[in-house]
Amino acid sequence: MGFVMPTIMTRTPDTLQDGPVWEPWAAIILAGGRSSRLDGVDKAGVEVGGRTMLEWALDGVIDAREVVVVGDPVPTERPVTFVRESPRFGGPVAGLLTGIDSLLTVPRLVGVIAVDMPYVHHGTWRRLLAAGDGGDGSLLVGPDGRWQLAMTLDTTRLTEVRPSYEEQHDFPLRRLLEPLTLVPVASEGREHEDIDTWTDLSQA
């Protein structure tokens, strides 16, 4: 499910390059939600096209130097760090910040994505990284104008606006992003679609 575009300043780059991104970056995959509209099923293990959604997410961030999955640990082909926010089910802000705090090395840019967006691929990330380079970051925007939980963030700027540890649980994501200047990147094809309900899964 997308989110209404927050009231933030945005800038549109003159060009978005699809070429390789040479600066190291890290990825945070948010996989620790309640999945209440999927009857509590762990979304990371739900299969789409014969592969789990976590596998799709990991394929998408193949260019990332380091990956942290905020969710329960499962076997993966790629080495990743699994971590849970405390207390559990603290929302995307708590998950995002827990993920960043768990990185071995914090780069200038991190990519953040919900695990239930299987159509975001490495090309999507290259567009997002190119768009956010030199600014506060970027976010994927669907055809209806809603922004999706697939974005890049400058970690220095994020440190300046992040809430205290005591405030992180259920902290609104929109409120976290309001002070930031994020570049909207239009989704292509089904990139903006997530798997939030059984109907979404049947149509995937």
Does residue 112 sit within a domain? Answer: yes
Does residue 150 sit within a domain? Answer: yes
Does residue 102 sit within a domain? Answer: yes
Rounded CA separation 102/69 (Å)? 10
Is there a contact between 110 and 100 (Cβ–Cβ < 8 Å)?
Answer: yes
Is there a contact between 193 and 113 (Cβ–Cβ < 8 Å)?
Answer: no
The full 3-state SS of 97-137, as one line of letters, equals HHHHHCCCCCCCEEEEEECCCCCCCHHHHHHHHHHHCCCCE
What's the structural domain count of the chain?
1
Rounded CA separation 133/137 (Å)? 7
Residue 133: give its domain's CATH number: 3.90.550.10
Does residue 97 sit within a domain? Answer: yes
Backbone angles phi, psi at 23, to 5 degrees: -70, 130
Range of the domain at 72: 25-202
User: Tens digit of pLDDT per residue, the chain (204 long)?
Assistant: 454 444 333 333 333 444 444 689 999 999 977 666 665 677 887 888 889 999 999 999 999 999 999 999 988 999 999 999 988 888 999 999 999 999 999 999 999 999 999 999 999 999 999 999 889 999 999 999 999 999 999 999 999 999 999 999 999 999 999 999 999 999 999 999 988 776 766 777
3-state secondary structure of 37: helix
